[in-house]
Structure 1
Amino acid sequence: MTAITKRWRAAALALLAGAVLLSGPGRAEPPRPEAIDRSALRVCADPANLPFSDDKGGGFENRIAELLAEKLGVPVRYTWYPNSTGFLRMTLRARRCDLVMGIVAGADLVQNSNPYYRSGYVLVTRRDDKLDNLSSLADPRLKTLRLGITAGTPPANLAARDGLMAQARPYPLYVDSRYDSPGKQMIDDLAAKQIDVAVLWGPIAGYFAKAHGDTLVVAPLLNESRDTRLDFYITMGVRPGESDWKNRINGLIRENQDAISAILKEYGVPLLDARGQPML
């Protein structure tokens, strides 16, 4: 459905979108003594990857980092690096930062914090079309509609299974986020009636749909077969072996979960509860 490099988002979110980060090749380094800079919250992030982060502080991961830094009583200090191969190797593992936001739970190149949200892929439709009760790509109504879908993602595989690719418009997964935003383009195309349904990672869909006021409806894909993962827990990443720092981050997440969730909702992120149901 929150940074991670695009290749990792692709793998861990089954070839997504945020937001949807992989390190470059190489074996994990053996643990070294913790070397956390206590004078600032050092965060590594993409400088042009809304809604997740940007160098103007406009993303929800920026806002969450600011919240945590305030609780720690220190400023946020960023190391900017694009969402590309080698992100973790050149940032967290190089000890240029101490925290990376938006890591999918279970990622093996970092030590995961506890999750701070759960989201999934969604369907976005125009309110006037009265399709807001769509919740599955197997819905027969989709046979006659034009779909926008991110190439290589789990929903694309399901769309192919359900015979929907003939009327689908693919949007690229791998782009230079400084110049292209296929998630925004998909939502803008939906609003302009160039497509009828957008199938997209939730945090990206919710953010860009919100820019169109109440004209668009975001609905989680809830009724798909269990053999295709469509929702994910999102954590923060620290270096392997830095358990004290991970515990400190876990404490901050636990103590500030309501405030974190409020930021996510402000950005239109469709949140799911522990049972995978929408949080109101």
Structure 2
Amino acid sequence: MTYAGQKYWLAISTLAMLATFFGHDTARAQIKEGGDLSIELVDPKVLRVCADPHNLPFSNEKGEGIENKIAELFAEKLGKKLDYTFFPQATGFVRMTLGSHRCDVIMGFPQGDDLVQGTNPYYRTSYALVAKQGSGLEDVTTLEDERLKGKHIGIVAGTPPATNMAINGLMVNAKPYPLMVDTRLDSSAEAMIGDLMSGQIEAAILWGPMAGFYAKKANPPLHVTPLVQEKSGPRLAFRIGMGVRGADQNWKRQLNRLIQENQPAINKILVDYGVPLLDENDRLIGAATATKVQ
């Protein structure tokens, strides 16, 4: 059984339990001076990415996800072949991929989680409220809003906004969706959006990239509001970077340079997938600003 939706629900809610499975190869802790990556990388001529094979909008075996596109961009900039080690986003993912030296980077990982060494973040987003246009909920910006009282709202069980919903008395009529599913066969996010479109629920709460991706695909498109004004409960906004092994300092520095030098191109990929991008003051970054070369 793999984790529903994608790694961030797990990372933000329960990733700490995986730390006991992650180890370092002490031989690789010796880093050559001068930025030589040969001792850090599985194959210096190949960008080897750790990814889930069934995890849209982030990654899949067909290369259709956000992180696939960013990996393609980086491989081009590095002049390297791109290759993947695929493994379900489940317990043991880091141990069986990055930790086993089968690949060298996880393309998306929440900043601050010590399971891996994180790069600088390349985007910031939050959980979001998804509603139909014309529903009267388009301008709801917080779960405290009285207009949500009595509404049937979809929520993935065990994710941070479930706590905020409980605090505000919204769980009585909520429809929970499982955190743990086999993503080869099912998707809680996709099921939730389907229920929203059919009228079984009146609003949905999803992690921002998933909210934006499925809202953009819907016909007609759905409205997405980042939940950044919550006054109680856990924080719902997070910075996302990339994950490397703790010993791979030169590789991390190279990735940091790639992020900095290619931020507008990265932002364009994120915007194209509907990801609601936030600045450090929780303001939405428009497409024109996000993709502008500084």
What is the TM-score with the length of structure 2 in the denominator?
A: 0.87
Q: Which moved more, 1:42-51 or 1:26-35?
A: 26-35
Q: Which moved more, 1:156-165 or 1:48-57?
A: 156-165
User: Residues of 2 paired with 1:7 and 1:257: CA distance?
Assistant: 23
**Aligned residues with identical type, % of pairs:** 48
What is the Cα deviation at residue 224 of structure 1? Answer: 0.5
User: Residues of 2 paired with 1:11 and 1:56: CA distance?
Assistant: 23
Q: Is the 8 A contact 1:128 1:215 kept in 2?
A: no
User: Residues of 2 paired with 1:215 and 1:7: CA distance?
Assistant: 22
User: Residues of 2 paired with 1:189 and 1:72: CA distance?
Assistant: 43
Q: 1:26 maps to which residue?
A: 21
Q: 2:160 maps to which residue?
A: 154
Q: 1:44 maps to which residue?
A: 50
Amino acid at match of 2:40: A
Q: 1:163 maps to which residue?
A: 169
**Using a 3 Å threshold, how does the CA distance of structure 1 residues 114 and 226 change in structure 2: closer, same or farther?**
farther
Residue 264 of structure 2, aligned match among 246, 250, 258: 258
Q: 2:12 maps to which residue?
A: 13
Q: Is the 8 A contact 1:8 1:22 kept in 2?
A: no
Amino acid at match of 1:74: K
Q: Is the 8 A contact 1:122 1:201 kept in 2?
A: yes
Question: What is the CA RMSD across the aligned residues, in angstroms?
Answer: 2.1
Residue 224 of structure 2, aligned match among 215, 218, 225: 218
Q: Which moved more, 1:36-45 or 1:60-69?
A: 36-45
Q: Is the 8 A contact 1:9 1:22 kept in 2?
A: no
- Can you give the 5+ residue segments of structure 1 that lack an aligned partner in the other structure? none
Deviations 1:255-277 (A, max 9, x none): 00000000000001111112121
Matched residue count: 273
Larger Rg computed on CA atoms: 2
Q: 2:82 maps to which residue?
A: 76
What is the Cα deviation at residue 35 of structure 1? Answer: 2.6
Q: Which moved more, 1:222-231 or 1:255-264?
A: 222-231
What is the TM-score with the length of structure 1 in the denominator?
A: 0.92
**Using a 3 Å threshold, how does the CA distance of structure 1 residues 6 and 169 change in structure 2: closer, same or farther?**
closer
Q: What pairs up with 1:62-141 in 2 under 5 angstroms?
A: 62-141=68-147
Q: Is the 8 A contact 2:23 2:95 kept in 1?
A: no
Q: Is the 8 A contact 1:24 1:87 kept in 2?
A: no
Residue 180 of structure 1, aligned match among 182, 186, 193: 186
What is the Cα deviation at residue 173 of structure 1? Answer: 0.8
Q: 1:204 maps to which residue?
A: 210
Amino acid at match of 2:8: R
Amino acid at match of 2:12: L
Q: 2:279 maps to which residue?
A: 273
Q: Is the 8 A contact 1:5 1:87 kept in 2?
A: no
**Using a 3 Å threshold, how does the CA distance of structure 1 residues 81 and 11 change in structure 2: closer, same or farther?**
closer
User: Residues of 1 paired with 2:52 and 2:214: CA distance?
Assistant: 18
Deviations 1:135-187 (A, max 9, x none): 11111111121100110111111111111111100011111111111101111
Amino acid at match of 1:122: A
User: Residues of 1 paired with 2:18 and 2:242: CA distance?
Assistant: 15
**Using a 3 Å threshold, how does the CA distance of structure 1 residues 78 and 58 change in structure 2: closer, same or farther?**
same
- Can you give the 5+ residue segments of structure 2 that lack an aligned partner in the other structure? 31-38, 287-294
Q: Is the 8 A contact 1:53 1:60 kept in 2?
A: yes
What is the Cα deviation at residue 9 of structure 1? Answer: 3.2
